[in-house]
Structure 1
Amino acid sequence: MHIRSLTLRDFRSWPNLSLNLRPGVTVLVGRNGHGKTNIVEAVGYLAHLGSHRVSGDGPLVRSGADDARISAVAVNNGRELAAHLLIKPRGGNLAQLNRTRLDSPRGLLGVVKTVLFAPEDISLVRGEPVERRRYLDEVLATRYPRMAGVKGDYDKVLRQRNALLRSASGALRRGYDSDDGAAALTTLDAWDGQLAAFGGQLTAARIALVAELGEHVTTAYGIIAPESRPPSLNYRSTITTAPDDCCDAEVLEAAMLTDLAHNRNREIERGQSLVGPHRDDLELMLGNEPARGFASHGETWSFALALRLGVFSLFRADGTDPILILDDVFAELDASRREALTQIAKTAEQVLITAAVDGDLPANLDGSARIHRVSMITDDSDRYSVLDAVADRSAEASDADRPGDDDR
């Protein structure tokens, strides 16, 4: 898969951008804060309907604009699809595939497949469980777009159930001895059934995904850090009454209902749901120790990178070569890891790389790479990004001093 053309309007620092792309390696070089990451962020947003940098859509719309637009022509096995997404800072986004308006932006999932690695991905290893859950759910939604709907439905039911636990805590404590208590418990039973139904599906899909991913992540880690301890992945579920590693949705649904019943008093006391995939975690191990807290700096970077490259390998095994995006990561890696990552990247149909200076690029990057220079123009009333002339790798400029640590 590759993107043939990318067009942006009022997306972050880009009032307008029209970029023709081709298979192979494309490099975007520019100082921090000049807008290079905004380009690959747009590609990733089109693929996953979310940004790797912010949780909301507001920051994606250029200041002063009513909305932002991302359009791309994706080529997959010779078939071209034109995807268009209108992003609104408030209200629902609009999507179009070729000339057909879609009922929901979710209809774009799977049209563009990307695997993006960015410095923020270190939180996959060092961060909280929510980061690892988001990682799994993003992969699921790309492979099986239906799962995005399951996750959305689960989240809606979870919010309603938590609202009931908080707002009706007194009635729930009184139980069936009072009319309001009986009504509240009946409503809670209904939410339990829906939460378990969606939770069983989501948990089953995550467990099955982790089982598939393990081998791919281990292989990628061995290439990047062959001298390190072997990694392993383990899905840690809060559904305790299900058999270990069970990925049968109906069995997990029944087990979750059992656990919800066992924990009902605790949940009423705390006013929140304590069982379900919203509290699960992906356990990352190096040898016999958890990577979080025990991995060295180099091992942490290697594990985070292996998690992304494992997804790249998994998508490839599914029959689609995803677009590999490497956002400002070479500066964070030592020489051996740079070269190992480049060797893997060369096997992808299309690679998009961002770097602050030419010196961040690995020496073994293929000479056919196309280099776009990104710069920022500031005038009295505006500040916006522009593209300079295209160069190839052999004609790249000499290394420049690294810019300051301002925001990208």
Structure 2
Amino acid sequence: MHLKNLKLLDFRSWPLLELELEPGVTTLVGRNGHGKTNVLEAIGVLATLRSHRVASDAPMIRTGAETALVGALAHNAGRELTVELALNSGRANRARLNTSPCRRQSDILGVVQSVLFAPEDLALVRGEPAERRRLLDELMVQRRPALGGTLSEYSSVLRQRSALLKSLSGALRRGRGEDTAAALDSLDVWDGRLAQLGARIVAGRIALLEELRPFVVDAYRGLAPESRPAGLTYRFRVDGPPGESELTDPELVEAVLLAEFGRRRQDEIDRGMSLVGPHRDDLELRLGEEPAKGFASHGETWSLALSLRLGSLELFRADGIEPVLLLDDVFAELDRHRRAALADVAAGVEQVLVTAAVGEDVPDGLRGVRHDVVMTGEGAARHSGITVSPDKSNRDDDDEGISDNREAGPG
């Protein structure tokens, strides 16, 4: 698939961006903080309904605006589809597909599919479990959009169940036992719904991991042939968990979760928080017999993080899908071997968007159509703009700017 155009309105530093795109490579060059990454982030939001940089939507809405709009015309499976997502401050977000309002945001999942690799991906190896859960969930909803609604409902139920546990904990500390009977009955209901939704998520993650694992292992072997072999294991955080292969059965997972809710009920009430469910699970990355976190060298960490993204790309390809590949300022961070390996893969992708602070950081074969991103204005009026050379070809001019440019957006 590929995008034919991208439109941003009041998205982060962009008051307005209308960018025409073609298959092949598009390179965005500009200084750090000038808005390059915001463009890639917007594409990722259309693909997954979430940012790879922040947990909430508020930072993506331009200061002083109440709504940010991200829209694109996507060529996908022989069809051209227009997709829009409005991020609203203090209100529910709204999605449109081919100009028609969608009942749910998740109705647009699958229209845009992307794989993004960024320096922040080191957190996939070194960071907390939430980073690795996000990787699985974003891949899962792009390949199985219906699970996007399941994840959203799970989050809602989790918030309400956690609020109930917190109120129960407070009531017991205040010695108001008479207030707890009805709350405990309500907790049983929330347990049942959370277990049902959580079972679908766990089963979906395991099914995904079984397909993803060989691609990641192969990618790591190619990037780091002298290193220990990579391994990926799902950690289902319950007492005496079933084997990973058994976790593809949602009914079994639901029963296990219900039993764990019962076993840990008093602990959850005492702490006033939900301690059981897929929001507590982890994807354990290993090198040989050791966990990658804390034991991988800097080079091994980069190779493993890159392998997770290259494996994701190959997983889409196995489905017959060519996602948009987004490379956010990564070539300056990679050594010669990894740069060459990534450039070789990217050269064969239908559409690639690359950002770089310096044009020379991008390998020669990947420079494609070059746009310069610049930040102009002062204070609250400071905003991103973009320029492109008249012949739409990348040049080797000084990175302070391209001569003979025309304005292609605000700024």
TM-score, normalised relative to structure 2: 0.91
Q: After superposition, where does 1:137-216 map in structure 2 within 5 Å? A: 137-169=137-169, 180-216=179-215
**Does the 8 Å contact 1:96/1:102 carry over to 2?**
yes
Matched residues in 2 for 1:255 and 1:3: separation?
Answer: 43
C-alpha displacement at 1:184, in angstroms? 2.9
**Does the 8 Å contact 1:241/1:256 carry over to 2?**
no
Identity of aligned residues (%): 54
What RMSD, in angstroms, separates the aligned Cα atoms of the two structures?
2.3
Matched residues in 1 for 2:370 and 2:77: separation?
Answer: 25
Post-superposition Cα deviations, 1:20-49, rounded to whole Å, max 9, x if no partner, equal 111111111111111111111111111111
Matched residues in 2 for 1:201 and 1:36: separation?
Answer: 37
Q: How many corresponding residue pairs?
A: 398
Q: Which shifted more, 379-388 or 165-174?
A: 165-174
Post-superposition Cα deviations, 1:172-200, rounded to whole Å, max 9, x if no partner, equal 7999xx75443333222222111111111
**Does the 8 Å contact 2:63/2:380 carry over to 1?**
no
Q: Aligned to 2:80, what secondary structure does the other structure show?
A: strand
Matched residues in 1 for 2:104 and 2:276: separation?
Answer: 30
Matched residues in 2 for 1:65 and 1:275: separation?
Answer: 38
Post-superposition Cα deviations, 1:301-324, rounded to whole Å, max 9, x if no partner, equal 111111111111111111111000
Matched residues in 2 for 1:59 and 1:373: separation?
Answer: 24
Matched residues in 2 for 1:91 and 1:341: separation?
Answer: 40
Q: Aligned to 2:294, what secondary structure does the other structure show?
A: helix
Post-superposition Cα deviations, 1:51-88, rounded to whole Å, max 9, x if no partner, equal 11222222222222232221211001321001112222
**Does the 8 Å contact 1:241/1:258 carry over to 2?**
no
Matched residues in 2 for 1:385 and 1:399: separation?
Answer: 17
Matched residues in 1 for 2:379 and 2:268: separation?
Answer: 57
Matched residues in 2 for 1:379 and 1:168: separation?
Answer: 51
Q: After superposition, where does 1:77-88 map in structure 2 within 5 Å? A: 77-88=77-88
Matched residues in 2 for 1:167 and 1:253: separation?
Answer: 25
Q: After superposition, where does 1:7-406 map in structure 2 within 5 Å? A: 7-169=7-169, 180-245=179-244, 246=246, 247-363=248-364, 365-366=365-366, 369-378=368-377, 382-390=381-389, 395-397=395-397
C-alpha displacement at 1:382, in angstroms? 2.0
Q: Aligned to 1:196, what secondary structure does the other structure show?
A: helix
**Does the 8 Å contact 2:10/2:62 carry over to 1?**
yes
Matched residues in 2 for 1:71 and 1:189: separation?
Answer: 42
**Does the 8 Å contact 1:67/1:87 carry over to 2?**
yes
Change in Cα spacing, 1:273 to 1:13, as seen in structure 2 (3 Å) is closer
Change in Cα spacing, 1:172 to 1:205, as seen in structure 2 (3 Å) is farther
C-alpha displacement at 1:393, in angstroms? 6.4
Change in Cα spacing, 1:191 to 1:343, as seen in structure 2 (3 Å) is same
- Give the letter for the 1:14 counterpart: W
Matched residues in 1 for 2:231 and 2:333: separation?
Answer: 23
Q: Which shifted more, 109-118 or 178-187?
A: 178-187
- Tell me the residue number matched to 1:404: none
Q: Aligned to 2:44, what secondary structure does the other structure show?
A: helix
- Tell me the residue number matched to 2:403: none
Matched residues in 1 for 2:90 and 2:154: separation?
Answer: 23
Matched residues in 1 for 2:196 and 2:232: separation?
Answer: 25
Matched residues in 2 for 1:69 and 1:174: separation?
Answer: 47
**Does the 8 Å contact 1:241/1:255 carry over to 2?**
no
**Does the 8 Å contact 2:370/2:394 carry over to 1?**
no
Change in Cα spacing, 1:340 to 1:95, as seen in structure 2 (3 Å) is same
C-alpha displacement at 1:237, in angstroms? 0.3
C-alpha displacement at 1:380, in angstroms? 7.8
- Give the letter for the 2:298 counterpart: H
C-alpha displacement at 1:373, in angstroms? 1.2
Matched residues in 2 for 1:61 and 1:142: separation?
Answer: 24
C-alpha displacement at 1:242, in angstroms? 4.6
- Tell me the residue number matched to 2:407: none
Matched residues in 2 for 1:224 and 1:329: separation?
Answer: 15
Q: Aligned to 2:160, what secondary structure does the other structure show?
A: helix
Q: Aligned to 1:330, what secondary structure does the other structure show?
A: coil
Q: Which shifted more, 97-106 or 332-341?
A: 97-106
Change in Cα spacing, 1:23 to 1:161, as seen in structure 2 (3 Å) is same
Q: Aligned to 2:207, what secondary structure does the other structure show?
A: helix
Structure 1 unaligned blocks of 5 or more = 401-408
Matched residues in 2 for 1:361 and 1:165: separation?
Answer: 52
Structure 2 unaligned blocks of 5 or more = 401-411
**Does the 8 Å contact 1:11/1:62 carry over to 2?**
yes
- Tell me the residue number matched to 1:406: none
Matched residues in 2 for 1:111 and 1:170: separation?
Answer: 45
Change in Cα spacing, 1:273 to 1:57, as seen in structure 2 (3 Å) is closer
**Does the 8 Å contact 1:5/1:73 carry over to 2?**
yes
Matched residues in 2 for 1:13 and 1:103: separation?
Answer: 29
Change in Cα spacing, 1:181 to 1:379, as seen in structure 2 (3 Å) is closer
C-alpha displacement at 1:241, in angstroms? 4.5
- Give the letter for the 2:150 counterpart: V
Post-superposition Cα deviations, 1:193-218, rounded to whole Å, max 9, x if no partner, equal 11111111111111121111100111
Change in Cα spacing, 1:172 to 1:216, as seen in structure 2 (3 Å) is farther
C-alpha displacement at 1:387, in angstroms? 1.5
